[in-house]
Structure formats: C-alpha cells, structure tokens
Amino acid sequence: MDEAFEVVTDIADISRLNEQLAKQLRATLQYEESREITYPAGHHTGTVYFEARAGTSVRAWSPHVAPDKRLNLVLRAEPGSTKRIEIAVQLNFPAGTYNRRTAGAFVKDGRGDIFVAHRGKLTKGNAGLPKDKVFREFAASTVEVADNGKISRVILIAGLKAPDLAARLWAFAEEAREVATRLSEARHGDGQSQSTGGAPSGGIVVGRPGGSGGASGADAGGQQAASTAERLLMPRGYFRVFW
C-alpha cells in the first residue's frame, strides 16, 4: 500500500462521519427545496439543498437514509425549476451491515485524519463501467487501503474537515461524469480519444509517493514532495501535476 490508509468499517463510526459530512455540506448548501430526482431505474421526490436561491447549474445535494445505505446524491440544477434533476454522482455509505457495494468510503490515514473517498463505481445509463479503467483515469488520486481484511483501491476526494470539501466534491463529480462519458464512448467505439493514464483536465490532482502521477523525493523546485494526505489537506492552489 502507498501509505497507512484504512477504510472505516464500523457502522456506528460510518454513521457519525456521514453526519459530519452532512453538517459540512449544509453549511455551504443552505437553500432547501422539494424536487424530483431522476436516475436510470426511475425517479423519486426528495429534499434538495442548493448553494444559492437562483441561477443555472447551481451546486446541490440530496441526502437520504435507506435500511442498507446512507445516500448522498451530488447534483447540479436550477433552483425553483420544475424540471427533474439528474444525479451527477452518488456518494453512498453502508448502513446496517458493513459491505463494499456502496460507492462511498471514509478512509483514515496513519495520523487519524479522515478522508472522503470513492470506490470507482461509475455507471453510464444502466451499465457499470470497468473499475480498472476508472481508476486509471483517476490514477493520481487513487490509493490502496486496508479494507476489513482485504486490500481495496479508492479515489481520495478530500479531507472531511477540509474547508473546501464541497468544492472538491463537486469537482470530482464533474470529472466523474466526463470520465463516464469518455469510457462509455470508447466502449462503444465512438470515442475520439483514449485515456493516457493521467488525471483528466479540470480535476483534483494529487501526487502519491511512488505512484502514477506522483513524485517521490523532491519536486522540480527542489522541495520535498508532500504525502497524499498532506496534499489533500492543503489549499486547492497548491495542487499541480507531476509527470
């Protein structure tokens, strides 16, 4: 493994961390509406929290608790509209019994810092996309983690206490949609370009020691490269691509 990363597997801890995540998002997304949310299997009406009262493509989030999972639907939509909202990405966590079927994960590093992560489960329409190709698209922020007796790969999104958590989460959601479209087109033979293995443009780039897209030792400026966890905790302007 790259560093001492471990998935949080205790259901009570997951519930507590999901509440912290909700508190963070509610601080940014303060305007509440009841809206219809659509997805390939159907649609439902739920509570949606918007970042602003008006606008187009406004960041929004809809939480929901089901018997087997805690859902966080990451959205962009127009407040006050009657149009159905499409889900950009789901960041769901297990409830009841721990399992790896949900896309979201809370990850702890060796110092006890908690990170929000994604398991690379993306879909386009009703079809799931190959996780190995998803991880390749997010290679710079993918790490291996201890996961209840197994080793899993996850995409680190942001520190749970990061002041720009919402910005990083929506940047990931937008990039995930682009990746899903690109991989789906490539699978059906109508994609215009293939992945180069690096992070797609416009995304959060996190170098990991010794890994693809990461720098080990010193960077080009002669400064010691920070760890993956340190990069995620630093301001957004710090990030740059290491080739």
pTM (predicted TM-score): 0.77
The CA–CA distances, whole Å, from 145 to 9, 28, 158, 165 equal 12, 30, 15, 21
- Token duo for residue 32: 């509440």
Tell whether 1 is covered by a domain: no
The CA–CA distances, whole Å, from 4 to 79, 104, 112, 144, 213 equal 42, 19, 10, 9, 19
Tell whether 117 is covered by a domain: yes
For the chain, what percent of residues have pLDDT higher than 70?
77
Q: What pairs with residue 145 in β-bridges?
A: 152
Q: Name the CA radius of gyration of the chain, rounded.
A: 18
Give the dihedral sign, CA 176/15/3/119. Answer: negative
Can you tell me the distance from the alpha carbon of 21 to that of 160, in angstroms, rounded to the nearest whole number? 7
Tell whether 191 is covered by a domain: yes
13-55: pLDDT as tens digits: 999 999 999 999 999 999 999 999 998 778 999 999 999 999 9
Q: What is the mean pLDDT of the chain?
A: 81
Residue 97 neighbours by CB distance under 10 Å: 7
Q: Which domain holds residue 43?
A: 6-238
Tell whether 48 is covered by a domain: yes
Tell whether 179 is covered by a domain: yes
Burial profile 175-207: b = 16 or more Cβ within 10 angstroms, e = fewer: bbbebbebbbebeeeeeeeebeebbbeebbbbb
Q: For the chain, what is the domain count? A: 1
Tell whether 243 is covered by a domain: no
Contact present, 179 and 171 (Cβ < 8 Å): no
pLDDT computed for residue 242 by the predictor: 24
pLDDT computed for residue 234 by the predictor: 40
